[in-house]
Amino acid sequence: MSRGKDARMARRAAQFAKFRMTELNLIPLVDTFVSIVFFALTTATVGEMSPVVPGVRLPTAGVGVVALSQLTLGIGAQVTLSGHPLMNTLDAARAKSDDPGQPLIIPPLFSALKLSSDSIRRAKATPKDSSLDTPLAIQGDSSMHYDLLARVMQTARMAGFKNISLQVNKTGTATAVTTVPAVPGTPGAP
């Protein structure tokens, strides 16, 4: 070849050197996308975890833990345990305790909660008079009086439930149910 032709080829090679095929390693890119998808799926909210008892309008709150599966006590027009009506709320408020040492106990509610706690103890093979770790969520109507709430919580404690929480609607979303620990010393309680 001639010297001119060699020089031309060298110039062209220098001009088009930037267009040469380079190796593209896709493995780090795929790993990054897999990590993003993994974290997106594991941290995504599933939505409402616990159905709201019919006839109960929950109050709202800005903080708390998303409700998990638990025993639910609804207090609206009626007092219900896991969706089964127990008694009228007015009758619960008027009920007199049959134990002079525990004036806050609501006898019909205590009987139902004691029956539930005993069946949970039998299923988990725990001692008869031990406190239960099974959570009891109280879904109280936003117009419920605090004295009735105090009586319901004391009745639940005396029936053997130590993990009591109150459920409220999360501020900003009407369908999300949030569980706020109601008993000091429980996980997540202030």
Residues 73 and 145 in one domain: yes
Pair (34, 80) in one structural domain: no
Task: Report how many domains make up the chain.
Answer: 2
Asked whether residue 53 is domain-assigned, the answer is no
Q: Which two tokens stand for residue 25?
A: 């390693």
pLDDT tens, 60-107?
Answer: 765 554 444 578 888 888 888 888 888 988 888 889 988 888 888 999
Decide if 119 is inside a domain.
yes
By C-alpha distance, which of 155, 160, 153 is closest to 183? 153
CB 136 within 8 A of CB 82: no
25-44 tens-digit pLDDT: 888 888 998 998 888 877 76
> Are 122 and 175 in the same domain?
yes
Task: For 115-150, write each residue's pLDDT tens digit.
Answer: 888 888 888 888 887 888 888 888 888 888 888 889
Residues 160, 154 contacting (CB under 8 angstroms)? no
Compute the mean pLDDT over every residue in the chain, rounded to the nearest whole number: 79
Range of 160's domain?
A: 60-181
Tokens of 167: 């459920």
Give the other-Cβ count within 10 Å of 152's Cβ: 25
Q: Are residues 125 and 172 in the same domain?
A: yes
Closest to 62 in 3D by CA, of 168, 137, 181: 168
- The predicted pLDDT at position 154 comes to 92
pLDDT at 190 over 60: no
47 or 106, higher pLDDT: 106
| Residue 182, token pair as written in the block | 């109601």
